[in-house]
Amino acid sequence: MIHWMILSTLATGLFYGLYCLTLRRDRWLQLSIVYLATTLWFSIVFPWFTLPENLATASQKVIPTEGYMMTLDEIDISANAASHAIDLTDIHLIGIALCLGFLLVQLGGQTVTIIRLRRKHTVYKAADGFNIPRKASLILLDEDTAPYSFFNQIVVGTHGLNDNELRCILAHESYHVSHNHTYDLLAAWLLCCGAWFNPFAWLIMREIRTVHEFQADAASIGACGREDYLHLLYRQATGTGYGHITNNFKSINLKKRIVMMNKTKTRFGAWKVLVALPVVALLTMVGCKPATEKAVDQEEIPFEYSGEDKSAPMDADTDQVFQVVEVNPEFPGGMEALIKYLSENIKYPEQAKKDKTQGKVYISFVVEKDGSVADAKVLRGIGGGCDEEALRVVNAMPKWTPGKQRNTPVRVQFNLPVAFKLQ
């Protein structure tokens, strides 16, 4: 969990910084939306991607694919420790619940407001002579209410507006409706709820709202003229807006909107987005899960005998370490006894309790011809003293019944996952 939080925050911060240095200062508005939405989604989910094995870095390939894998996940052999502290996953889920609750309150409140307005006022459509999208509904209020759109609903307070100003506002809000900007904001909200701890995710969502307004401004200028539209913006520059999931006519800083309206697209502005590609490649190589990790979940790794004559007797003096044999080694008492041994002997390290370290430690060892355990080593650890504790317990195992190949005791390699969980 902490690995995902750090990586996603770092990635989002990098992409947001690149945006501020490049596209934010340019008038490539649709490209900005694509960049912001794509990088926000990528930053949140990329740590969960699986990197193809041929692209994985050497540092990621930490689990050998050789050896017989004992899969004991179906039976809990975890080292347990009582803990009254709230787990990081629980904190994350609480944060998500709070964010979703706040979002639902906004959606519900705005929906109730729209329903009440539709009951009290006349609802107009494009067929009534208004220049709005066919799917849109227009509610005109004879009061000083800030214009806004919510999904396909447009609400405009007409108090003090002349016909040309009303035409400008309808052009602005119609652009929001026709381009489904409320759905864009809702999708960004949901992503931010999943990464509520990430400040850059919320900043990117704010930038998406800002670019939405820039796009609607550009459409409005074409409908009613630059001078009239700027005059209207000055008049609408004060007042109280609606919630963040609406597209409010005056919700964005007036100075930013005027500056953007006076800008033109730079000739090579679209190429600026290419600076993000090396960042994507670097984050993918560093942060994605290597495909080799999947090998540790296999119950058994296939083994080829390469044409070996199975009828020939085994050399009893061979020191070859086998991965798969005809008769597997067995812990005294069988699998249940091994599970009991691990559960009773593993002690949760105090440092791991303090740091709330959890996860699986993978131990590799060889069952010798006489059944003793040798060459035990950590394939992948989690730190906090858990690696050493798992290694200690494996090295202290009693002798196994040795594995056999052609009725001859042989050396057999095992990979054993030991799970540490705080409860």
E-strand ranges in 251-392 read: 289-290, 321-322, 359-367, 373-380
Is the pLDDT at 242 greater than 70, yes or no? no
Q: What is the pLDDT of residue 62?
A: 40
Could you tell me which of 322, 302, 301 has the C-alpha nearest to residue 366? 322
What six digits make up the tokens of 335?
């699998």
The model's pLDDT over 326-357, given as tens digits with 9 standing for 90+, comes to 888 999 988 888 888 888 888 888 888 888 88
Q: What is the pLDDT of residue 295?
A: 40
169-173, 239-243, 337-341, 417-421: least confidently modelled range:
239-243
Q: b vs e for 199-237, b when ≥16 Cβ sit within 10 Å of the residue's Cβ? A: ebbebbbebbbbbbbbbbbebbbebbeeebbbebbeebe
pLDDT (mean) for 94-117: 93
pTM: 0.60
List the domains of the chain with CATH numbers. Answer: 2-61+87-287 (no CATH), 302-422 (3.30.1150)
Is the pLDDT at 245 greater than 80, yes or no? no
